[in-house]
Amino acid sequence: MTHRDDSRRDELLGKLLDYSATHGLSETSLRPLAAAVGSSPRMLLYFFGSKEGLVREVHRHARDVQLQLLADALKDCSNRTEALRSLWQWLSSPAHHNVVRFFFESYARSLHAHGGAWEGFGEASIREWLPQLRQAFGGSDTEATLALAALRGLLLDLLATGDTERVEQAFEDLLRKL
């Protein structure tokens, strides 16, 4: 691929992630998906090979965005409490709820996937986050695992109930205990 192709592919990945965060990907065929992101089915196949390849690449892109967010939060903050608070503010923001919903939809589908676009998504999302969290917790696997599980559990609760005040209070309590 040429530099121009790479640029167009990256642009499409951003649009596909935005689309999938709002509408999901599992039930969408290539034609309406291509129209929604300003492309054609032929171009999507050119860049991603198949719908399965497209879904895998959108998942990879979503994880890359989240990993960069995590890295930035841990780098820009002087301590892990502030880093986790910064990360939580982004993850729990209503502006990002659709991206978080897409993550959980993909995670749940990966638990039943035997081959296909969702296979390995859940495991990869853990294996990619733990090293950075482990570093924030001074090498502790246990604390990193608890922090990751707690963040995800609180996010699920927030998305399911919309009870921001209660979930925010639980997050603050988590920070005090970590």
Q: What is the pLDDT of residues 82-141, one digit of tens each?
A: 888 888 998 899 988 888 888 888 888 888 877 777 788 889 889 988 998 888 888 889
The whole-angstrom separation of Cα 92 and Cα 150 is: 13
Mean pLDDT for 62-78 is: 77
pTM score: 0.78
User: Cα-flanking dihedrals φ and ψ of residue 154, to 5°?
Assistant: -65, -40
Tell me the CA distances in angstroms from 108 to 111, 142, 160, one per residue in order.
5, 23, 15
Residues 6+ apart with CB under 8 A from 136: 74, 80, 83, 84, 144, 147
Rounded Cα gap, residues 30 and 51, in angstroms = 7
Q: Which two tokens stand for residue 78?
A: 């002087």
Residue 24, pLDDT above cutoff 90: no
